Amino acid sequence: MTKAALASAIAFRHKVTRAEAVRIIDTMTDMIGHLLEEHGRMNLSGFGCFAVKARPARRARNPRTGETVVVPVRCVVVFQPAPALKGRANRSAAVADD
């Protein structure tokens, strides 16, 4: 699903304009980013937990030149789904298999 499709679905379900739905989505993603910056973690009950995790430095190979390079330490955002979300995903996978 794209952001536009999500905005349309929210607008239809909550009887708001599509522009308002886009603003809601933008606000939510901005707030998640801000909370990850400030606290390194953000939990949405029943949905899951977003967290910032440090990836250690590592050696890699440049595929073009074959030269070994060092990839520096970096942070990535990880997501761990809540059990309720996992259950919904498993139910939809079971229906797709039938």
User: Do 48 and 35 reside in the same domain of the chain?
Assistant: no
- Do residue 34 and residue 56 come from a single domain? no
Residue 98: what pLDDT? 57
Q: Please state the pTM of the whole predicted model.
A: 0.74
Q: How far is the C-alpha of 30 from the C-alpha of 24, rounded, in Å?
A: 10
Q: Are residues 61 and 95 in the same domain?
A: yes
CATH number for the domain spanning 58: value is 4.10.520.10
**pLDDT (tens digit per residue) in 38-64:** 999 999 999 999 999 999 999 999 999
69 and 27 assigned to the same domain: no
Number of domains in the chain: 2
Q: Are 28 and 52 in a shared domain?
A: no
Structural domain including 78 reads: 44-98
- Residue 55 CA to residue 71 CA, distance in Å, equals 10
Helix (H) or strand (E) holding 8, with range, is helix 3-14
